[in-house]
Amino acid sequence: MIKVAVFCAAGMSTSLLVKKIKEAAIKKDIEIEINAYSETEMSRHTDVDCVLLGPQIQYALKNAQKIFDPLNIKVEVINTVDYGMMNGEKVLSTIEHLIK
């Protein structure tokens, strides 16, 4: 099972994207546990395989890397277009790339 944390500012649109990613994972028969959290909760969610940041908080990338790099957890900002289009399949592909 792939465990993913998605961090954002408020969580409204990110929760919808998480739902789309779960749907894409079901279609590809991929087991995934993915949850959205506020950026203020980063240090509390370190038991994951990778971390995604919503484009609206890309300024937090360096802080996220300080938290997750020592744990060998990859961090990536979600592509703005994929985020805006709520493209769960493309974001799932990003996740697959990060964990390889």
Q: Which residues are catalytic?
A: 8
Distance between CA atoms of 19 and 1, rounded to whole angstroms? 17
Which residue's structure tokens are 């749907």?
A: 23
SS3 10: coil
Distance between CA atoms of 11 and 9, rounded to whole angstroms? 6
Distance between CA atoms of 76 and 5, rounded to whole angstroms? 11
